[in-house]
């Protein structure tokens, strides 16, 4: 490849073509491609590369601590778990298409975060943007936003994700102003985006950390109106390594 062509490919950001030029030409020679077939082949390869890079970027931006996928979840270790129900929701992809929420309730180590993460990664793989964040971290960000008057910006940012996973809801008690901000965020996402939750508390216990019966009732009504709930309280504890990809 001459330098002029190399510079042009860099300028129009066709890195895949730049890096695979010789391979593409050799494939075309060996398989006796016509001009049209060669052009189609190059476009298809560039599309695959850009799509893969875009997915990797979305996955990186999601800030998922452990890339846990459905294919490696040990359902055989959790006979009390309704695998058919979970896989029906997962395979149909309705939780994104219908803007549905999903809540996993269970003790620590039962696999709720692994399952929720698998759903989030599925959405990212299919072209949607997402974010993983723990409930304490989210609450802290909302609280700090009050100090610099960036509440609207922070809420809008988290409201914009196609799929938001809020992990370990209920591990901390929060102040009334934080409850209000969290409720505002959930209100903005209601019927607009899909939100995934994991928690060790059943819904009746949510007032223990939200400290407001009316807001808690309203929040639960919204979260469960268009949702799926999976109860893992009868499941055994799993070691994280068993569900790690």
Q: What is the CATH number of the domain that holds 74?
A: 3.40.50.300
As a whole number of angstroms, the distance between CA 30 and CA 64 comes to: 43
Q: What DSSP state is assigned to residue 111? A: S
**Residue ending a domain, choose from 31, 57, 83:** 57
What is the number of structural domains in the chain?
2
Q: Are residues 53 and 74 in the same domain?
A: no
- Note the helical H segments in 93-231: 94-97, 112-125, 135-147, 151-160, 176-189, 207-210, 213-225
**Is residue 50 a part of any domain in this protein?**
yes
Q: Are residues 50 and 84 in the same domain?
A: no
**Is residue 65 a part of any domain in this protein?**
no
Average pLDDT, whole number, for the chain? 90
**Is residue 152 a part of any domain in this protein?**
yes
Q: Are residues 41 and 16 in the same domain?
A: yes
**Is residue 62 a part of any domain in this protein?**
no
Domain limits for position 215: 70-243
Cβ count near 4 (within 10 Å): 8
Q: Are residues 154 and 108 in the same domain?
A: yes
| C-beta of residue 108 within 8 angstroms of C-beta of residue 141 | no
pLDDT value at 241 more than 70:
no
Q: Are residues 36 and 79 in the same domain?
A: no
Q: Calculate ∠ Cα 145-151-157, nearest 5°.
A: 105
Q: Are residues 39 and 156 in the same domain?
A: no
As a whole number of angstroms, the distance between CA 124 and CA 60 comes to: 10
Q: Which residues pair with 163 in a beta bridge?
A: 130, 194
Task: Give me the pLDDT at residue 196, please.
Answer: 97
Q: Are residues 50 and 131 in the same domain?
A: no
Model pLDDT for residues 38-88, shown as the tens digit of each residue: 889 888 988 888 889 899 999 999 999 999 999 999 999 888 899 999 999
**Is residue 64 a part of any domain in this protein?**
no
pLDDT value at 109 more than 90:
no
Note the pTM of the prediction, 2 decimals: 0.84
């Amino acid at each position: 490849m001459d330098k002029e062509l190399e510079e042009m490919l860099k300028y129009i950001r066709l890195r895949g073509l730049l890096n695979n030029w010789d391979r593409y030409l050799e494939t075309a020679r060996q398989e006796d491609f016509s001009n049209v077939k060669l052009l189609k082949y190059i476009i298809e390869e560039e599309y695959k590369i850009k799509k893969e890079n875009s997915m990797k970027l979305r996955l990186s931006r999601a800030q998922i601590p452990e890339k846990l996928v459905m294919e490696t979840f040990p359902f055989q270790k959790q006979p009390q778990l309704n695998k058919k129900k979970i896989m029906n929701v997962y395979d149909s992809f309705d939780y994104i298409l219908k803007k549905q929420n999903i809540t996993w309730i269970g003790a620590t180590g039962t696999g709720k975060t692994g399952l929720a993460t698998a759903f989030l990664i599925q959405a990212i793989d299919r072209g949607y943007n997402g974010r993983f964040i723990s409930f304490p971290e989210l609450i802290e960000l909302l609280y700090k936003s009050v100090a610099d008057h960036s509440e609207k910006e922070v809420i809008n940012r988290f409201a914009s994700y196609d799929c938001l996973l809020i992990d370990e809801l209920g591990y901390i008690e929060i102040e009334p102003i934080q409850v209000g901000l969290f409720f505002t965020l959930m209100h903005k996402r209601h019927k607009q985006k899909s939100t995934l939750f994991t928690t060790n508390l059943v819904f009746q216990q949510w007032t223990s950390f939200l400290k407001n019966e009316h807001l808690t009732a309203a929040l639960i009504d919204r979260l469960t109106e268009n949702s799926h709930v999976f109860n893992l309280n009868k499941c055994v504890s799993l070691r994280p390594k068993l569900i790690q990809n």
